[in-house]
């Protein structure tokens, strides 16, 4: 080990940063992975690591050849999809398993079970973790029963609020079939109906540490000056369209009143329960809605949250006093110790 490295640091090694290569016409949520690649690579290089960036496509033979050429002792896995298909998120980790190359973050089974929202719902229920009522709706118009309105219709595999806007919500049974027909036109994945909890929204980030996962400071998404009747929803515009009203009127805060203490303790407890139930490793995030009675409900679990510097996970790490470089190092350390 070089003399300038402290005892807790990983000695310098080659790291391959593998990511899903966006298409030329990809939307902003897909192109964001390039920002993550740049940020992670820069953080590693600043600490003396040799970095190779490898874009992954459906051509797995080419990816295999490139990995064998680079022969990295560790892959920093930033793959969120393949060819724009999020249901293929586990393919590259499975390939890395067969090549016996360690990689950061959760293993393939955890990535798949958290990306398949219907499977995730079933796992949450099996572990007695509260999640809003839901039902499959392959064809809601034919009378498939669903949760009581208001309800929101979601794609089983789309993440990052892709496809989620106000017209995804049905305020009544009569609106439901119209909503499903409209979403079926833009979504090829199976849809499901979920009770819409019109309450507070929390994002809880977790980062591997020496004594197990550390729950980072709780974040709440505040809906600022939303008119009465407008559904409080972190949809695609609120998350990605910087010029939209929704984007500028949803703000993240880490400030809470003393009265929120019991609620914050409960979302932390449930987040750790999700970490265990889904076998998450390295890092993860759990999204909650809190109803009018103060009860938190798990909306979804993200086993590979965005690592862009302006993202929620990084904001929570910084709030905890963890620099971007330290965060990257801890994610790597967890992979090497797995």
How remote is the C-alpha of 103 from its chain's centroid? 17
| pLDDT tens digits for range 36-80 | 999 999 999 999 999 999 999 999 999 999 999 999 999 999 999
| Whole-number CA gyration radius for the chain | 20
E strands along 10-73, which residues?
14-20, 50-56
CATH of 114-130+198-218+254-337, one of 3.30.360.10, 3.40.640.10, 3.30.470.20, 3.40.50.300: 3.30.470.20
Q: Is the peptide bond before 150 cis (omega within 30 degrees of 0)?
A: yes
Q: Looking at the predicted structure, is the pLDDT value of residue 7 above 60?
A: no
Domain ranges of the chain: 14-103, 114-130+198-218+254-337, 134-195
pTM equals: 0.88
Residues 82 and 241: their CA atoms lie apart, in Å, by 23
Q: Looking at the predicted structure, is the pLDDT value of residue 3 above 60?
A: no
| pLDDT tens digits for range 97-130 | 999 999 999 999 999 999 999 999 999 999 999 9
SS3 3: coil
- How does strand 212-215 pair with strand 134-136? unpaired
Instruction: Show the 3-state SS of 226-273.
Output: CCCCCCCCCCHHHHHCCCCHHHHCEEEECCCCHHHHHHHHHHHHHHHH
CB 30 within 8 A of CB 22: yes
Torsions phi, psi of 235, nearest 5? Answer: -85, -170
Residues 6 or more apart whose Cβ sits within 8 Å of residue 286: 203, 204, 206, 267, 270, 271, 274, 298, 300, 301, 302
Percentage of the chain exceeding pLDDT 90: 61
Structure tokens of 120?
A: 């995730």
Structure tokens of 159?
A: 């993440």
SS3 194: strand
| pLDDT tens digits for range 161-211 | 455 666 677 766 766 776 676 666 666 667 788 888 988 999 999 999 989
Residues 6 or more apart whose Cβ sits within 8 Å of residue 247: 237, 238, 239, 240, 241
Determine the pLDDT at residue 139.
47
Residues 329 and 279: their CA atoms lie apart, in Å, by 20
Overall average pLDDT of the 260-267 stretch: 98
Q: Which region, left, alpha or beta, applies to residue 163 given φ > 0 means left and ψ of -120 to 50 means alpha?
A: left
CB 29 within 8 A of CB 238: no
């Amino acid at each position: 080990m070089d003399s300038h490295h402290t005892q807790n640091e990983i000695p310098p090694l080659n790291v391959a940063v593998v990511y899903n290569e966006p298409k030329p016409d990809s939307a902003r949520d897909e192109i964001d992975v390039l920002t993550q690649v740049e940020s992670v690579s820069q953080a590693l290089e600043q600490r003396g690591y040799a970095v190779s960036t490898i874009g992954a496509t459906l051509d797995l033979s080419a990816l295999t050849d490139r990995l064998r050429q680079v022969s990295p002792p560790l892959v920093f896995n930033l793959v969120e999809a393949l060819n724009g298909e999020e249901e293929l998120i586990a393919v590259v980790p499975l390939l890395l398993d067969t090549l016996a190359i360690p990689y950061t973050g959760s293993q393939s089974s955890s990535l798949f079970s958290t990306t398949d929202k219907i499977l995730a719902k079933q796992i949450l229920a099996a572990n007695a973790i509260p999640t809003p009522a839901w039902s499959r709706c392959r064809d809601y118009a034919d009378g498939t029963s669903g949760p009581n309105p208001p309800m929101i219709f979601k794609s089983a595999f789309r993440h990052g609020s892709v496809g989620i806007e106000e017209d995804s919500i049905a305020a009544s049974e009569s609106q439901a079939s119209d909503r499903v027909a409209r979403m079926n036109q833009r979504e090829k994945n199976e849809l499901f109906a979920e009770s819409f909890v019109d309450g507070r929204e929390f994002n809880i980030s977790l980062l591997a540490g020496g004594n197990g996962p550390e729950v980072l400071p709780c974040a709440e998404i505040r809906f600022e000056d939303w008119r009465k009747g407008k559904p409080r929803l972190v949809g695609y515009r609120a998350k990605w369209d910087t010029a939209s009203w929704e984007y500028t009127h949803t703000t993240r805060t880490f400030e809470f009143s003393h009265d929120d203490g019991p609620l914050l303790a409960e979302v932390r407890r449930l987040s750790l329960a999700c970490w265990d139930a889904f076998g998450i490793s390295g890092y993860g995030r759990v999204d909650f809605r809190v109803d009018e009675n103060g009860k938190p409900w798990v909306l979804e679990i993200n086993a590979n949250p965005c690592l862009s510097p302006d993202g929620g996970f990084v904001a929570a790490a910084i709030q905890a006093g963890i620099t971007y470089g330290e965060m990257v190092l801890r994610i790597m350390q967890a992979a090497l110790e797995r």
